[in-house]
Structure 1
Amino acid sequence: MDPKHKTILQRNRTNLVKDLDPSTLYDGLLSRGVFTQDMIDEIKSSGTRRDQARQLVRDLETRGSRAFPAFLECLRECGYESLALLLHSEAPVIQPVPSPLNPVIRPLPVCPVDIRKPDKGHSSPPKEVPVYPTEIDLIPSPSPEKESLKPRQGRTRRDSIQNYKMDASPCGLCLIINNVEFEQHSELKNRKGSDIDCDKLERRFKSLNFNVVVKRNLKYKQIRHELSALAKKDHSAYDCCVVVILSHGTEATHSRFPGAVYGVDGSPVPVQIITNYLNGQHCPSLQGKPKLFFLQACGGGEKDTGFEVSPDEVQPSMGGADDQMDAIPTSSSSDSLSMSDEPDARATLPTPSDILVSYSTFPGYVSWRDTQAGSWYVETLDHVLEQNAATDDLVTMLMMVNNEVSQISAKGLYKQMPGSFNFLRKLLYFQALPPSHIPR
């Protein structure tokens, strides 16, 4: 869809959601080829009339150049003349698409004299422009000295039925919980270097157009309070939600997402409770939208010494001299892992969709952190997002993180393997703001 048409739909989404009855438009949009029957069935399953209207407008933005005028025709046919007039009054004139058999010849723009030098004394018309754009029309030539810094060519980032919509501004909310200093009775060591991780991820998610809130040194109940408050916010204007937790961790009994993270009071919060706060049932305004969790914490106390491979298989990297573990033995407190003390954190809900949990290490194993440079996982995640967010989807980038972290060694011996539990239904491409647009 033309970006101008997409902007018009976004600007008028409130009116469309308030006034439209999508059921009256389905046949017209189907007959015009704007949506397939499967797509319409998916819109119908999104919930109430308002939910269906909201989903219809979002999906409409992912369709082709004919979707907007076809939508206007359907509005007029179904009696929404005022809405059609409102959208049409903002729309630019749509130029017909030239047929390959009958191309439209357009003059070239005026060029500097030192590039194009017409013969003196002649008034011949400009040369014809090719019907199809050439590479020079699409990609400016980089200067020779910056050629090596040019990011690799990635997948074209178009909104479609295969991609999550990620163009809201801001894109969403990001909550970072940074537990550094633990109470003495918890018998947990302070996590030196965690503030470095926190600062990196705060800057990184701001650069991806998220509103970032940082909370430091939270107890068990405070962690749950912040997650509950986040779930109660209205995320209707956002496309995504991110939670980052930097803490000690442990194994925990689970039915879906393994592991638990510690409050500074020494009480662990199971990961499946953390994710339940934002699932489709407990946070309706995030239904159908990606919920991302990034956990820098140990999954247990086991150390991975790795296995031998040929030198060509990996490029080993040494960890820092001040590497520490975010590991604690398996929790045995059934009270601290209770899943039934709050109605919005039950373990009997269906497996949530649109959730991805990225773990810094494999369940059961320790996660390494350099007290001077931060954790292996966060440092690598930040670097990969910086280099690839403009071209690659999230799952691809997490595989890059897995590969890079797997090649680092602590004390020349111990290894670490990040991983994720992925329940996303579509590809997710972040926004990548230029440095001048990043909020301070």
Structure 2
Amino acid sequence: MDPKHRQILQRNRLNLVTALNPADICDGLLSKGVFTQDMIDEIQGKITRRDQARQLVIDLETRGSQALPAFLECLRETGQHALAELLQCGDGARLPPSVPIQPSLIPLPVQNTKYAEKPDRPDFTPSRLGPLRPERLPVPNPFSPSSETQAVRPTRPRRDSIQCYKMDASPCGICLIINNVDFGPDCDLKDRKGSDIDCDKMEKRFKALNFEVIAKRNLKYKRIRHEMASLAKRDHSAYDCCVVIILSHGTEANHNRFPGAVHGVDGPAVPVQLITNYLNGQNCPSLQGKPKLFFIQACGGGEKDTGFEVSPDEVEPSLGGIDDQMDAIPISSSSDSLSTSDELDARATLPTPSDILVSYSTFPGYVSWRDTQAGSWYVENLDRVLEENAATDDLVTMLMMVNAAVSQISAKGLYKQMPGSFNFLRKHLYFQSSLS
């Protein structure tokens, strides 16, 4: 698809998901060669109209340069004129009319049956194309220009598409926020000015996403473990999800699944792996099969990332605040080095961590930056991305947006930060929103 057309769809995704009636236009998109039957089946397999509309827009962005004009034609044919006009004039310029192009015949590859069974290419997309058999040739797309028309690769038989987690309970679930700000004088950790700003943002954001929010401030090591144990003992049967947000200093820790540890205000650190262990299927049966999300704003270690030089076109640099601080533990007041002491609990064996996602503010081993006046880079962008995109995008997609935004910021004009996540979710996760 033409980049300008894709931008138009992305800018109007919320309107499309809210108002589009996919059932009316699927036949038209199929007859015009924009979608294959398998793609139509995947769209119609979604339970709600919003999910069908969301999938249709996502698929549409993968089609040829004439996909958007054909889509506009289908909207007008089915009486959805308001949406058609919105897209037609959404960027201040009129889109080119749909110009039919003679379809090109694509011969069936007969030498690649082995490849069809064992594809290993990174751009291989079995969910988008049906099985390639002699009695079922792929339908050519007449709206794709010759430059985009390539020999169709044989694919595996299509399996069921990835499903979505049920997220319609009210409230959706419990969100526990642990906000450690004031650290004891004996633990050699500075107070985390600006963390209250992060806490307020996350509390308001997850309340807006229909979570029951519980905020705890300045917890010691044992108290962190106590709060996690209490959360695990609660009955989550009426809920669809559970969220834990930790704002604290952090350090490295031995692990076999989830790296890092977060400090209590008295100094000792609780391994992230142990924190996730409280809510796994064995220790919290009422959360079995439900998504358990952990957001960690803390250093993953003591290394400072100075980044690497790239073309000016690659990034749009953004300076951090005037008083950026690290969420790391120093060995002494004159050193930013990392403490190498690890908690033994970090090596505890865990069951398979299904339905768990841990989002880290920084790459393991590196510092995480926080502006004392505006809060941390990570939480600021996480809050913004959730506000702007929760109604239309899934969680993993939004976390990639956060990664991209934070990666463009520089502390003191020099240091960088790269968030990331350990994702063991089995389905797409869409939060509730006021438009759901």
**Bin of the TM-score, shorter chain as denominator length:** 0.5 to 0.7
Aligned to 2:296: 295
Q: Aligned to 2:80, which of 126, 131, 135?
A: 135
Q: Distance in 2 between matches of 1:231 and 1:140?
A: 49
RMSD in angstroms over aligned alpha carbons?
2.8
Tell me by how many angstroms 1:133 deviates.
4.5
Q: In the TM superposition, what is the alpha-carbon distance from 1:331 to its structure 2 partner?
A: 3.9
1:411: which partner in 2? 412
Matched residue of 2:412: which SS?
coil
Task: Give the letter aligned to residue 344 of structure 2.
Answer: S
* 2:250 aligned partner: 249
3-state SS, counterpart of residue 380 of structure 1: helix
**Residues 107-146 of structure 1 aligned to structure 2 (within 5 Å):** 133-136=78-81
Aligned to 1:398: 399
Change in CA separation of 1:323 and 1:401 when aligned onto 2, cut-off 3 Å: same
Per the alignment, residue 170 of structure 1 pairs with 171
Alignment of 1:184-263 (within 5 A): 184-263=185-264
Offset from partner CA, 1:52-77 (integer Å, 9 cap, x none): xxxxxxxxx97599xxxxxxxxxxxx
Q: Note closer, same or farther for the CA distance 1:64–1:170 as it changes in structure 2 (3 Å cut).
A: closer
TM-fit CA distance, 1:327:
1.1
Match of 1:307 in 2: 308
Equivalent residue letter for 2:345: M
Aligned partners of 1:281, 1:331: CA distance in 2, in Å? 32
CA distance in 1, matches of 2:233, 2:77: 50
CA 1:140–1:272: 2 relative to 1, 3 Å: same
| Offset, 1:433 | 2.4
- 1:332 & 1:407 partners in 2: Cα distance? 30
Corresponding position: 1:371 with 2:372: yes
Structure 1, unaligned runs of 5 or more: 1-60, 66-129, 149-159, 341-345
Distance 1:164 1:389 in 2: 14
| Letter paired with 1:135 | Q
Counterparts of 1:412 and 1:330, CA distance in 2: 23
Give the TM-score of the pair, scaled to structure 2: 0.63
Partner of 1:338: 344
Q: Aligned partners of 2:259 and 2:398: how far apart in 1?
A: 22
Q: Deviation at 1:339? A: 1.9
Separation in 1 of the partners of 2:166 and 2:46? 8
Give the secondary-structure state (helix, strand or coil) at the position aligned to 1:292: strand
Structure 1 distance, partners of 2:218, 2:162, is: 41
CA shift in 2, pair 1:64/1:431, >3 Å:
closer
Structure 1 141/389 Cα, relative in aligned 2: closer, same or farther at 3 Å?
Answer: farther
1:327-357 deviation digits (Å, cap 9, x = unpaired):
12544445xx1329xxxxx822233100000
> Would the aligned equivalents of 1:209 and 1:433 in 2 still touch at CA under 8 Å?
no
Change (3 A) 1:220 1:131: same
Q: Is residue 62–residue 161 contact of structure 1 (8 Å, CA) maintained in 2?
A: no
Whichever residue aligns with residue 403 of structure 1, its letter is A
TM-score normalized by structure 1? Answer: 0.62
Question: Are residues 380 and 244 of structure 1, via their aligned partners in 2, closer, same or farther at CA, if it must alter by over 3 Å?
Answer: same
CA distance in 2, matches of 1:283, 1:223: 17
For the residues of structure 2 that align with 1:62 and 1:300, how far apart are their CA atoms? 42
Specify the code of the residue in structure 2 equivalent to 1:203. Answer: K
Query: For 1:211, what is the secondary structure of its paired residue?
Result: strand
Paired with 2:380 and 2:401, the residues of 1 have a C-alpha distance of 13
For residues 199 and 286 of structure 1, what CA distance do their matches in structure 2 show? 26
- In structure 2, the CA distance between the partners of 1:315 and 1:131, relative to structure 1 (3 Å rule), is closer
SS at structure 2 position matched to 1:324: strand
Q: Relative to structure 1, is the Cα distance of residues 211 and 371 closer, same or farther in structure 2, using a 3 angstrom cutoff? A: same
| Cα displacement (A) at 1:135 | 2.1
Contact 2:328–2:338 (CA under 8 A) maintained in structure 1: no
AA of the residue aligned to 1:364: G
Structure 1, residues 93-141: CA drift from partner, whole Å, max 9, x if none? xxxxxxxxxxxxxxxxxxxxxxxxxxxxxxxxxxxxx99843248x598
Pairwise CA distance, 1:147: 9.1
Alignment partners' CA distance in 1, 2:180 and 2:186? 15
Q: Match for residue 79 of structure 1?
A: none
Residues paired across the two proteins, number: 292
- Name the amino acid aligned to 1:312: D
Partner of 2:390: 389
Aligned to 1:70: none
Summarize the Cα distance change of 1:64–1:383 in structure 2 as closer, same or farther, 3 Å threshold. Answer: closer
1:134 maps to amino acid? G
Instruction: Name the SS of the counterpart of 2:345 in structure 1.
Output: coil
The aligned runs of 1:355-370 (5 Å cut-off) are 355-370=356-371
Q: What is the CA–CA distance in structure 1 between the aligned matches of 2:267 and 2:84, rounded to whole Å? A: 55
- Output the CA distance in 2 between the equivalents of 1:64 and 1:363: 39
